[in-house]
């Protein structure tokens, strides 16, 4: 079993403790953003104006996803169509998603997938400097990521990209030529993926709040309501 976001015990050849602390702090920051994003503003969604009485928990009949010229279709829209949820286009070409049990079920499942994706991103960041296994042998961590399929399923995959190499002949993990293999984790890419995933996480949370305000408390617990589908083989 590969490592979680917890760092492995210090071994010869690993990065110094000070260099390993930074990825861990960044990973922790991702989780904080993930938990706080439900209250963040989202300027790419519009819906019917809320009632004047804020205590009136009237669900919205639909929400509209504002799409500009460069924006691709949101990843969860094919999930909605595959589940039979109603998705129309308004006069400006924006996606209009109608409130229904099918739509709410899909959005809850998709939000759980985003939660798992953020955890994998945090794990990748935390292990960006992991080059040894538990026995102290050279065994770099390999990046993992989640792929969402149009039919509403998703799976965790391992990145087959080659490991990074550095010339460090004094390291116990160096090969016969003096090179050390490092994980195939590109930190700038992980930060961009984290920002995009957090944006989607915020949007889906707000859609669920507008479709059924009574879900606000429940939906913030990603381990409830809808189980993850079995991953594809």
What pLDDT is attached to residue 55?
45
Q: What is the pLDDT of residue 14?
A: 42
Report the percent of the chain where pLDDT is more than 90: 47
Q: What per-residue string of b and e applies to 10-49 under the rule 16 or more CB within 10 Å gives b?
A: ebebbbeeeebeebbebbeebeebbeebbeeebeebebee
pLDDT higher than 90, residue 85 = yes
Task: Tell me the whole-structure pTM to 2 decimals.
Answer: 0.71
Q: In angstroms, rounded to a whole number, what is the distance separating the alpha carbons of residues 71 and 68?
A: 5
What is the pLDDT, as a whole number, of residue 33?
A: 53
Per-domain residue ranges for the chain?
A: 17-49+56-219
Which class for 186: exposed (0-12), middle (13-18), buried (19 or more C-beta within 10 A)? middle
Round the average pLDDT of the chain to a whole number and report it: 75
- In the chain, which residue ranges form alpha helices assigned H by DSSP? 17-36, 77-82, 101-126, 187-211, 216-219
Sign of CA dihedral 165, 166, 170, 176: positive
pLDDT mean over 69-96: 84
Which residue from 138, 186, 146 is spatially nearest to 162, judged by alpha carbons? 186
**Tens-place pLDDT, residues 11-42:** 334 433 334 445 555 555 555 555 544 444 34
**pLDDT value of residue 68:** 63
Does residue 101 surpass a pLDDT of 90?
yes
């Amino acid at each position: 079993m590969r490592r979680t976001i917890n760092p492995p015990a210090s071994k010869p050849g690993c990065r110094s403790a000070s260099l390993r602390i930074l990825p861990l702090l960044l990973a922790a920051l991702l989780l904080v953003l993930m938990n706080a994003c439900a209250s963040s503003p989202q300027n790419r969604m519009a819906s019917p104006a809320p009632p004047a009485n804020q205590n009136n928990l009237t669900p919205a009949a639909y929400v509209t996803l504002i799409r500009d010229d460069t924006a691709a279709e949101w990843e969860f829209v094919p999930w909605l169509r595959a589940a039979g949820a109603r998705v129309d286009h308004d006069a400006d070409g924006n996606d209009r998603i109608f409130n229904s049990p099918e739509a709410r079920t899909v959005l809850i499942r998709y939000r759980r997938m985003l939660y798992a994706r953020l955890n994998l991103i945090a794990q990748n960041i935390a292990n960006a400097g992991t080059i040894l296994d538990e026995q102290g042998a050279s065994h770099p961590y390999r990046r993992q990521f989640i792929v969402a399929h149009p039919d509403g399923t998703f799976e965790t995959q391992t990145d087959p990209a080659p490991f990074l190499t550095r010339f460090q002949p004094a390291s116990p993990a160096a090969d016969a030529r003096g090179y050390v293999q490092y994980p195939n984790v590109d930190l700038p890419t992980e930060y961009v993926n984290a920002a995009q995933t957090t944006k989607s996480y915020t949007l889906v949370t707000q859609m669920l709040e507008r479709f059924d305000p009574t879900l606000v408390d429940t939906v913030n617990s990603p381990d409830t309501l809808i189980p993850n589908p079995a991953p594809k083989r």
